[in-house]
Amino acid sequence: MASLLTFCAAALMEIAGCFAFWAWLRLDKSPLWLIPGMLALALFAYLLTLADSPLAGRAYAAYGGIYIASALAWGWAMEGNRPDHWDVIGAANCLVGLTVILFRPRPLPA
């Protein structure tokens, strides 16, 4: 369960950091937006290292489900773009994948 909270925090940092770059390049915001953007992306990378997984690739794969759902939520909350039913179905599929990857019993790697 701690990994889910870590993934949610990481997703917020990744999306916020990338959005800062988007705002600078696409929305003509000040280059000063890059400072918090880079800090958020560094915090995102750090947070992913806290995931309860012995394998980076598996942690990143599981995180992907949270990222996709969070990106759609960001688009709705920050940009007013309500997800349609296809977005919801796609995000739900990704969250099922997250559950399979993260919670399937498996032995620890040698």
CA distances from 64 to 2, 10, 28, 102 (A): 16, 11, 29, 11
Tell me how far apart the alpha carbons of residues 48 and 6 are, in angstroms, rounded to a whole number. Answer: 7
17-64 residue pLDDT tens: 999 999 999 999 999 999 999 999 999 999 999 988 888 998 899 899
State how far the alpha carbon of 79 is from the alpha carbons of 64, 73, 83, 103, in Å.
21, 10, 11, 33
Q: For the whole prediction, is pTM greater than 0.75? A: yes
Residue 1 has a pLDDT of 65
Mean pLDDT of the chain: 93
